[in-house]
Amino acid sequence: MDIFCYQTHHLVKHDDLNHHGTLYAGRCADWVVESGFTAAASLTKPENIVCLKIHDLLFNEPARLGDLLRFESKVVYAGRTSLISLIRIFRKEQKILEAFITFIHVDREGKPIPHGITITPILPEDIALHEQAKQLHGN
């Protein structure tokens, strides 16, 4: 399977701000997980996907009231039972955040089960992201 990118958007509102007047990291983490989940769940049944780990949620720039944020997510690695999504957040064309999230494919009891998904990166950037995610998978 080739790598397909999904987009979602969020408007930063008053309820999303911290005491510094910037986007609260917890709210952003919620949106990041949702975005990564969208990419992972698109490859299998959503009810079989659970979040295992957020890797390095690193802000390059703060988001502020009124910012319209674009979330781009794609699954860049598939293990036997895991899927790793890359999520990037942009304000206009400026990337303000990048994170990887590992999701696990589970049965009704929450036990990991194989998903049978294979990711085949073609573009040089996707190949590099696949290799980066592969390193995360080993940790």
> Residue 22: beta bridge partners?
64
The whole-number pLDDT of residue 3 equals 65
> CA dist 55 to 32, 85, 121, Å?
11, 10, 21
Query: pLDDT by residue (tens digit) across 10-35?
Result: 999 999 999 999 999 999 999 999 99
Phi-psi region of 31 (alpha: psi -120 to 50; beta: other; left: phi over 0): alpha
The whole-number pLDDT of residue 138 equals 67
Q: Which residues contact 52 (CB under 8 A, 6 or more apart)?
A: 82, 102, 103, 104
Parse the chain into domains and list their residue ranges.
6-137
The whole-number pLDDT of residue 137 equals 77
- pTM, two decimals, is 0.92
The whole-number pLDDT of residue 57 equals 87
Report the C-alpha gap between 98 and 72 in whole angstroms: 10
Domain 6-137: CATH class, spelled out = alpha beta
Spans in the chain with pLDDT lower than 70: 1-3, 138-139
Q: How crowded is the C-beta side of 48, counted as CA atoms within 13 Å?
A: 17
